Every structure is written in C-alpha cells, then in structure tokens.
A and B are shown apart, each in its own frame.
Chain A
Amino acid sequence: MAKSNEPIWWSLFSAGGVVAAFLIPITLLLTGFAVPFGWITAEGLRELVVNNLLVKLYLFVIISLPLFHWAHRFRYVAVDLGVKGVGGLLAVLCYGAAIVGTVTAAVFLAQL
C-alpha cells in the first residue's frame, strides 16, 4: 500500500476541531466584546497576554491547531465547490499556511 500523509493531517484536523469547538466561542466573546462592553480594560487584557505564560501557551494552541483544522477542511470543501485539477497545489498552500501561521505565532509569543 502506498504511504500516505493523510493520518497526520487528519489528526491535526481533528485536534483542531476539538480545540475550536470547546474554546473558540468563549475566547471570541472575550476578544470581541469584553473591552467594548467594559467587562475588562484593553490594558487589562493586554497585560494578561504579555505577562502570563499560561495565556501565551493557550493562545499558541488556539491559533495553531485551528489553522490545521481549517487547512484540511478547506482543501476538501474547495473541491466540493467545484475547484478542479489543482488539488496538489491547494493542499501545499493550505497546510503550508497552517505551518507558517504556527511558526509565526510561536515567534510573536516568544517576543512578547
């Protein structure tokens, strides 16, 4: 049987799906509405991001894995929507973007 990378991408897709399902809604509520509604000050939120190692780790996970979730699902939904003949290129672009995003997140968080 030909060797396939599929199990790796599927695992990352699945892990990203779990992380996104459990954590994105509440995180989005906090980043989207907490400051405008006055639940927390912008500076209070910023200090959490900058000073707390646990928050940094949380942000890394919630950026990286959902990007892989997107990459895997998007490459197949594009085909369902009629994108033809560029499957290989599309896969490289999607997973590549997720990898670049992961590295960028790590660099940004390490610099804070």
Chain B
Amino acid sequence: MADEAAPTKSKEYIRPMPANWWLKKRTYFLFMVRELTCVFVGGYALYLLVLIAQAGNETAFATLVSHPLCVLLQLVALPMVLYHSITWFNLTPKVMVVWRGEERVSPVLIAGSNYVAWLIASAVVAWFVLG
C-alpha cells in the first residue's frame, strides 16, 4: 500500500469544514449573502437576454414585461441587487485608498461620492426611459 511504501511521508491534515459554517456567525452570514447576490445579478442579466430575444415580437414582449411571474422574480431580486450595490460602494474606499498630499482622503467621502454618482446615474437612466 502507498502508506507503507512511503512511511516518512506524513498525511496532509485537511481541517473539516461543515457546509453550514456561514450560519454560525452574523458576519459570516452577511458575507455569504453578499457573495450570493451574484446569483441575482447573473439571473437578471439572463432575464435581460430573454427580454431582448422577445423584443422583435410586439405581443410576446408585452406579455413578458407584464407577466406576474416576471414582476415577482424582479421584486425578489430587487433587495439582493440593492445589497450588491451597497456592499460594493462601501468596499470601494477599502480597495481604493486615495491620498491628498500627506492626508488620506476620508473613506466616507469616497463611499459618499459613489452614492451621489449612483443617484445621478439612476436619475439619468430613468429620465431617458420615462422622460
């Protein structure tokens, strides 16, 4: 057997990790929620793909955009995509450390400017479509 043939080779210890480790602490749980927002981000991109596939057909498109199931799915996805936005903006000052001379630009200012830009971008898109 392999173990007997190489007696000096020690066995690698793999620390067991239960699949529910992320339920054990609030911070782990929030991390997992943040990571799982990607499913809703990807899912919404997939929905947009369906939407453009139907855009050539007037009736099919109208049925799709007012279908209760589509509205419901997007209602469920909304808090998750918002959580993605919020966690993403709040992480920006940690990833991007900006110095002005000797002084570090306040993380609150960097995150805050993200939120302002978010509001402006959303308003522009809404105005473009509805205005």
Contacts and interface: CB of A to CB of B under 8 A. Distances in A.
B55 A73 contact: no
Q: Which of B55, B61, B62, B82 has the most CB of A within 10 A?
A: B55
Contacts of A111: 56
B124 to A, nearest CB: 9
Interface residues of B, number: 46
A77 B53 contact: no
Interface secondary structure of B, over-half rule: helix
Interface secondary structure of A, over-half rule: helix
A67 B56 contact: no
A70 B65 contact: no
B75 interface: yes
Interface in B70-87: 70-71, 74-75, 77-78, 81-82, 84-85
A24 B26 CA distance: 27
Interface of A: 16-18, 20-36, 39-40, 42-43, 45-46, 48-50, 59, 62-64, 66-67, 69-71, 73-74, 76-77, 80-82, 101, 104-105, 108-109, 111-112
22 contacts: A20-B81, A20-B88, A23-B125, A24-B81, A25-B78, A25-B122, A27-B125, A30-B130, A32-B74, A34-B129, A35-B62, A35-B66, A40-B130, A42-B65, A43-B58, A46-B55, A46-B58, A63-B45, A63-B52, A69-B41, A74-B42, A108-B55
